[in-house]
């Protein structure tokens, strides 16, 4: 089974809660606060493992949650940080945020890693809040929630050479004749439903060749196998365009050539500059020579390699030509542009300077925003001092003033995240 696209849920570990504690030891008068900080939550980290070839494992496990940090303890003992969760992925995996559609990471080399979901920091214990005006605070923080998101994983095969062309032009037969790969071959369209890889052994010029599912008109819009095919072409260093020069299915080889190249460019404009070798296949059939002559007249500047995958005519010469051309092409593949995860802001109100916005759900005023919602989750609302500190922070952020501006009156219900309370003017 070959799986090259899957959607999963990842969540970094929550930070541990800070502790409220006081020293009570013999001969230590007025010992003071001694509540330790919580530990950091674990990150979810993807690591490339060259031993993997598909994303099939992610069809059966779709939730990945890193462990949370330990809570702080008394005697100023901080909680231990959690271990990171490492998830192995095959080379060629692109990770995309399902909500924003931004590329989080493009993982192509063995051992390469990327943090996909960051763990939350530990909450501070009351030892952190002691000052001259409040030497014995009963204030602590809950741990910061770990980052959570749904992501889309796409696998783009990393091969030196990609065989492209209409269905049933002989790509699978060519791959099987020059490598140990055993793709399914039959006399009907779309025999190849999943990409097949094989190694062409030419000594120092050996390379990996991929037989990719056949293209048809409209593939860039998802017609046929569409994007399932085209995403794999992006990773190849060289495109080998296989054409049925005998026109067995009644198509014109020249029109096939133009249409396939048109689909490649419409999908990704960069593919227009990708080196390409044109291969005229099925030259052992009677109609092939006449069609080839017309093809060359219309495209006099295009070099065409004549082969027959079935009889192996010209195949060895083609492989050496591919190996020589690959030697002149850099091995580094173009990777996706990755946006810094830390720069993303989910909520951003244009009018409020601290990035929150106020809406109304029936008679309830709803305050939403990444910063204010995180503040609620990290506040220990069971502590009177912590709740008072939260109220001061809200006033400092301008939430009270904004609520009044939006018409909130004394006794109205306000909701922030899962917290609901009565507004007091």
Structure-token pair, residue 393 = 């922070």
Confidence band for 214, pLDDT divided at 50, 70 and 90:
low
Backbone phi, psi, residue 202, to 5°: -125, 30
Q: Residue 402 to residues 74, 281, 390: CA-CA distances in angstroms? A: 40, 72, 16
Name 289's Cβ contacts closer than 8 Å, sequence gap at least 6.
283
Q: Are 246 and 267 in contact (CB under 8 A)?
A: no
pLDDT confidence of residue 15: 94
Residue 349 reports pLDDT greater than 70 = no
Nearest Cα residue to 89 out of 60, 56, 117: 56
**b/e per residue 70-83 (b: at least 16 CB within 10 A):** bbbbeebbbbebbe
**b/e per residue 304-325 (b: at least 16 CB within 10 A):** bbbbbbbeeebbeebbebbbeb
pLDDT tens-digit map of 46-99:
999 988 877 878 888 999 999 999 999 988 899 999 999 999 998 888 899 998
pLDDT confidence of residue 231: 64
Residue 333 reports pLDDT greater than 60 = no
How does DSSP classify residue 204? G
Confidence band for 354, pLDDT divided at 50, 70 and 90:
low
Nearest Cα residue to 38 out of 160, 142, 186, 174: 142
Structure-token pair, residue 375 = 């503040």
Please give the Cα distance from 86 to 103 (Å, whole number). Answer: 19
Of residues 191 and 52, which shows the higher confidence score? Answer: 52
Average pLDDT, the chain: 80
For residue 6, list its beta bridge partners. Answer: 153
Lowest mean pLDDT among 1-15, 104-118, 343-357, 398-412: 343-357
For residue 70, list its beta bridge partners. Answer: none
What does R_g of the chain's alpha carbons equal in angstroms? 31
Structure-token pair, residue 196 = 């097949």
pLDDT confidence of residue 332: 58
User: End-to-end CA distance of the chain, in Å?
Assistant: 63
Residue 199 reports pLDDT greater than 50 = yes
How does DSSP classify residue 220? G
Lowest mean pLDDT among 117-121, 156-160, 306-310, 380-384: 156-160
Residue 186 reports pLDDT greater than 50 = no
Q: Are 372 and 394 in contact (CB under 8 A)?
A: yes
What sign has the CA pseudo-torsion 293, 299, 305, 311?
Answer: negative
pLDDT tens-digit map of 371-423:
888 888 888 888 888 888 888 888 888 888 888 888 888 888 888 888 888 88
**Size (the chain), residues:** 425
Tokens 């010992």, located at residue: 31
Tokens 């094989």, located at residue: 198
Residue 342 reports pLDDT greater than 50 = no
Please give the Cα distance from 157 to 170 (Å, whole number). Answer: 20
Please give the Cα distance from 367 to 342 (Å, whole number). Answer: 23
CB atoms within 10 A of CB 177: 19
- Parallel/antiparallel/unpaired status of strands 93-97 and 103-107: antiparallel
Q: What is the DSSP string of 234-251?
A: TT-SEEEEEEETT-TTS-
For residue 365, list its beta bridge partners. Answer: 360, 414
Please give the Cα distance from 362 to 291 (Å, whole number). Answer: 72
pLDDT confidence of residue 344: 36
pLDDT confidence of residue 227: 44
pLDDT tens-digit map of 98-119:
988 888 988 888 899 999 999 9
Of residues 352 and 132, which shows the higher confidence score? Answer: 132
Helix (H) or strand (E) holding 297: helix 288-298
Structure-token pair, residue 35 = 């509540």
């Amino acid at each position: 089974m070959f799986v090259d696209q899957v959607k999963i849920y990842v969540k970094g570990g929550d930070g541990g809660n800070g502790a409220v504690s006081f020293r009570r030891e013999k001969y230590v008068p007025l010992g003071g606060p001694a509540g330790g900080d919580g530990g950091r939550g674990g990150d979810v980290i993807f690591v490339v493992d060259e031993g993997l070839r598909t994303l099939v494992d992610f069809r059966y496990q779709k939730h990945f949650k890193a462990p949370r940090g330990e809570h702080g303890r008394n005697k100023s003992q901080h909680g231990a940080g959690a271990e990171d969760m490492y998830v192995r992925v095959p080379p060629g995996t692109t990770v995309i945020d399902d909500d924003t559609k931004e590329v989080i990471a493009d993982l192509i080399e063995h051992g390469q890693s990327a943090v996909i979901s960051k763990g939350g920091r530990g909450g501070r214990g009351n030892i952190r809040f002691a000052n001259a005006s409040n030497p014995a605070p009963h204030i602590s923080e809950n741990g910061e929630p770990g980052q959570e998101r749904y992501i889309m994983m796409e696998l783009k095969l990393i091969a030196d050479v990609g065989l492209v062309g209409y269905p049933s032009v002989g790509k699978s037969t060519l791959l099987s004749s020059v490598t140990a790969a055993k793709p399914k071959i039959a006399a009907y369209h779309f025999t190849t439903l999943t990409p097949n890889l094989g190694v062409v052994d030419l000594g120092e010029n050996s390379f990996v060749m991929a037989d990719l599912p056949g293209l048809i008109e409209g593939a860039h819009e998802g017609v046929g196998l569409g994007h399932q095919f085209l995403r794999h072409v992006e990773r190849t260093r060289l495109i080998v365009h296989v054409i049925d020069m005998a026109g067995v299915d009644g198509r014109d080889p020249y029109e096939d050539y133009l249409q396939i190249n048109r689909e490649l460019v419409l999908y990704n404009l960069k593919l227009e500059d990708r080196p390409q070798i044109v291969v005229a296949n099925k030259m052992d059939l009677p109609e092939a020579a006449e069609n080839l002559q017309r093809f060359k007249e219309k495209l006099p500047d295009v070099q065409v390699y004549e082969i027959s995958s079935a009889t192996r005519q010209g195949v060895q010469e083609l492989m050496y030509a591919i190996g020589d051309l690959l030697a002149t092409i850099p091995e580094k593949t173009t990777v996706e542009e990755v946006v810094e995860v830390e720069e993303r802001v989910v909520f951003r109100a244009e009018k409020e300077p601290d990035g929150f916005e106020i809406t109304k759900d029936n008679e309830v005023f709803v305050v939403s925003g990444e910063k204010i919602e995180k503040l609620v989750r990290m506040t220990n609302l069971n502590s009177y001092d912590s709740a008072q500190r939260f109220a001061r922070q809200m006033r400092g952020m301008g939430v009270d003033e904004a609520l009044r501006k939006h018409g909130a009156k004394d006794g109205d219900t306000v909701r922030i995240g899962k917290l609901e309370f009565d507004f007091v003017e």
